[in-house]
Amino acid sequence: MNPKHRKYLYLLLALLILGLILWRASGPKPIAVTLKPVDIGVVEATVANTRAGTVMACQRARLSPSIGGQIAALPVKEGDRVEAGQLLMEMWNADRRAEVELARREAVAAEARAVEACTVAEVARREALRQAALKKKGLTSEEAVDRAEGDARARQAACDATRATARVSEARLDVARAGLDRTRLKAPFAGTVAEINGEVGEFVTPSPIGVATPPAVDLVDNSCLYVEAPIDEVDAPAIRAGMPARITLDAFPARDFPATVRRVAPYVMDREKQARTVDIEAAFADNAALADLLPGYSADVEVILERRDAVLRVPTEALMEGQRVLVYEDGVLRERQVRTGLSNWRYTEVIDGLAEGEQVTVSLDQDGVEDGAAVVPRQDGTP
């Protein structure tokens, strides 16, 4: 070939290469998308609460005294662990203690009088028996026998009366003790003192009926906790007591707590400007986990309606309307129809249309992400 022609040929090739480079540079750039694999795993059908639930204590008592008075003693402080029956708060009660002592002494005196009367009655009974024996031997008169028997009956009646009086005195003592107990606030169960409203020397009053007032002592049993959460009325019919569940808490975002549904409310809550819901209760399956939890934490409950192990699954966020996905093939997204089965907000079971190891995009809200779009995998892993 003529060297001159070869020179033109090289120049033409260079121009073609440069044109191709310029054409590619000016054309549309591949879109960076997040890809997720189609894999084998667990898929569950679940139902979750519509609003945040609350960690509740199985036993919690907001205690107030049954009568008003001045606080004389506070033998416990907030955070103390107490046993059932332990004294939590005591009102000034010197007058009631005096009444108890008076009633106790009256009961002792009444018992002593009863013993005296019954001793006399026993002596009279024996005398009547002796007179009756003498009468059989002809050594005493009929009149003496009648007089002895009458006296024995009278003495026995006096004994019975004083015994009854002693029982009345015991009852009065019980009443006085009950009045004294009303000035003492005791723990109805073992638990932890969460809050005390009042100090020694201050006055407290019982809560009026229908009026919410701060409790004198808030007692919580942290050894038994559960979560109460509202479920939409549409989902509630599928839930039964005994179903497995998972509890998640904002305070422990990296942990899931296994649980069991222990109760489904037998009525629907109808609150103004809110969807109608049914409250459920989920009990923690592992008591060892309760050591880190506090009543009042916000919590979510996910009830597991059905579970399938080792099935082909795809991230639910990759599904488009009409059971379609965008599959990554050699730098291009290809739309594909799939047939799905069990599903939750994390994963959806794939019955047909995909194979293990294929990749689908979850960047569906990104501009330009559609069938035939040129894409590159995003490196940072964000959608």
Quick: pLDDT tens for 102-133.
Answer: 999 999 999 999 999 999 999 999 999 999 99
Q: Which residues contact 118 (CB under 8 A, 6 or more apart)?
A: 159, 162, 163
CB within 8 A of 89, min separation 6: which ones? 65, 71, 73, 74, 184, 185, 196, 198, 216, 217
For the domain made up of 27-43+309-377, give the CATH fold.
2.40.420
CA–chain centroid gap for 190, Å, is 17
Nearest in space to 218 (alpha carbons), one of 76, 91, 68: 76
Distance in angstroms (rounded) separating the CA atoms of residues 59 and 190: 9
**What's the CA gap between 358 and 295, in Å, rounded?**
45
The residues, any chain, with a CB within 8 Å of residue 182's CB and separated by 6 or more, are: 65, 66, 67
Residue predicted with more confidence, 330 or 275: 330
What are the Cα distances from residue 172, in Å, to 54, 154, 181? 47, 27, 14
Q: Look at the block and give the residue holding tokens 């007089």.
A: 147
* C-alpha pair distances (Å), 365 with each of 319, 328, 343, 369: 12, 16, 21, 8
Give the end-to-end CA distance of the chain in Å, rounded to a whole number.
Answer: 57
Q: What share of the chain is helix, strand, coil (3-state, %, to 5)?
A: 30, 35, 30
Rounded distance between C-alpha atoms, residue 267 and residue 293, angstroms:
29
Domain ranges of the chain: 27-43+309-377, 93-182
Structure tokens, 220: 């919580």
φ, ψ at 10 (rounded to 5°): -60, -40
pLDDT tens readout for residues 207-230: 767 667 788 999 999 888 999 999
Torsion angles phi and psi, residue 46, rounded to 5: -130, 160
Residue-wise pLDDT for 299-314, tens only, equals 999 999 999 999 999 9
- Which of 260, 263, 265 is closest to 285 using CA atoms? 260
Q: 252: which residues sit within 8 A by CB, 6+ positions away?
A: 292
Q: What are phi and psi of 359, to 5 degrees?
A: -120, 140
Q: CB–CB of 307/349 below 8 Å? A: no
Instruction: State residue 270's pLDDT score.
Output: 79
CA distances from 278 to 53, 231, 238, 244, 259 (A): 12, 5, 12, 18, 18
pLDDT at 139 over 90: no
Has this prediction a pTM greater than 0.85?
no
How far apart CA 11 and CA 70 sit, in angstroms, is 107
According to the model, what pLDDT value does residue 336 have?
A: 94
% of the chain beyond a pLDDT of 70: 91
pLDDT at 191 over 70: yes
